[in-house]
C-alpha cells in the first residue's frame, strides 16, 4: 500500500485509520438522516374512485335496494334479515364507530362490510373494490 521509502510509524497509521472511520461514520449518519426525513408524498387525500362511494358503492346502492325491495336477496347477501341486521347494528354500532379527520365509514357500512366478509369469505381487496373503500378503511 505504501511505497518502501515512506516511513510510517504505528501512531500515524492509527490516527489515519481513526480519521477514516470517523469520516465513514459521519457519511453513514448523514445518509440515515437524509433518508429519515424524506416521506412519501400522497397523491390524493382520497382516491377519486373512493369519492364515488355514495353513487357506486355496494352499500349505498345494492344493499339499500335489496333492503327496500328484496328482503330475500338481502338475507342471501348478509345472512341476516333486515330486522336482525338493524338489531345487530344497534348493539355493535357504538363500538365500531370511528373518529377521524376524514369522513369515516359509518357503523352501518362497517357492519355491512364485515357481514359480507363473513358470508362470502371474499378477500379484503375484493370487498374494498365492491364497497369503494381504501385499504386503511377495511383493516378494521
Tens digits of residue pLDDT in 48-81: 666 666 777 777 777 888 889 999 998 998 899 9
Dist. CA 37–CA 124, nearest whole Å: 32
Residue with cell 362490510: 113
- Does one domain contain both 66 and 117? yes
- Does one domain contain both 130 and 65? yes
**Distance in angstroms between the alpha carbons of the first and the last residue of the chain:** 62
Alpha-helical runs (H) found in the chain: 10-37, 48-51, 53-56, 64-69, 71-78, 82-96, 107-120, 124-131, 135-138
Dist. CA 128–CA 113, nearest whole Å: 9
Asked if the structure places residue 56 within a domain, the reply is yes
The pLDDT-based confidence of 20 (bands split at 50, 70, 90) is: confident
- Does one domain contain both 54 and 34? no
- Does one domain contain both 117 and 60? yes
Q: Confirm if 59 and 135 have CB atoms less than 8 A apart.
A: no
- Triad 73, 78, 122: Cα angle to 5°: 110
Asked if the structure places residue 113 within a domain, the reply is yes
| Residue 13 lies in domain | 7-40
Dist. CA 137–CA 100, nearest whole Å: 11
- Does one domain contain both 54 and 36? no
Asked if the structure places residue 81 within a domain, the reply is yes
Does the pLDDT of residue 37 top 80, yes or no?
no
**Predicted pLDDT at 21:** 84
Closest CA to 65 of 55, 77, 74, 76: 74
φ, ψ of residue 34 in degrees (nearest 5): -65, -45
Dist. CA 88–CA 123, nearest whole Å: 23
Number of folded domains that form the chain: 2
- Does one domain contain both 19 and 64? no
Residue with cell 510510517: 8
Q: What is the pTM of this model?
A: 0.48
Amino acid at each position: 500500500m505504501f511505497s518502501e521509502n515512506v516511513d510510517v510509524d504505528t501512531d500515524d497509521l492509527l490516527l489515519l485509520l481513526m480519521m477514516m472511520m470517523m469520516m465513514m461514520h459521519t457519511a453513514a449518519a448523514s445518509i440515515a438522516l437524509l433518508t429519515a426525513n424524506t416521506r412519501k408524498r400522497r397523491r390524493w387525500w382520497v382516491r377519486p374512485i373512493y369519492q364515488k362511494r355514495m353513487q357506486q358503492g355496494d352499500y349505498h346502492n345494492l344493499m339499500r335496494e335489496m333492503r327496500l325491495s328484496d328482503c330475500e336477496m338481502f338475507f342471501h347477501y348478509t345472512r341476516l334479515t333486515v330486522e336482525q341486521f338493524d338489531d345487530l347494528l344497534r348493539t355493535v354500532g357504538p363500538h365500531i364507530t370511528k373518529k377521524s379527520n376524514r369522513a369515516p365509514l359509518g357503523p352501518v357500512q362497517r357492519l355491512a362490510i364485515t357481514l359480507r366478509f363473513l358470508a362470502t369469505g371474499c378477500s379484503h381487496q375484493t370487498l374494498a373494490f365492491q364497497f369503494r373503500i381504501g385499504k386503511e378503511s377495511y383493516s378494521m
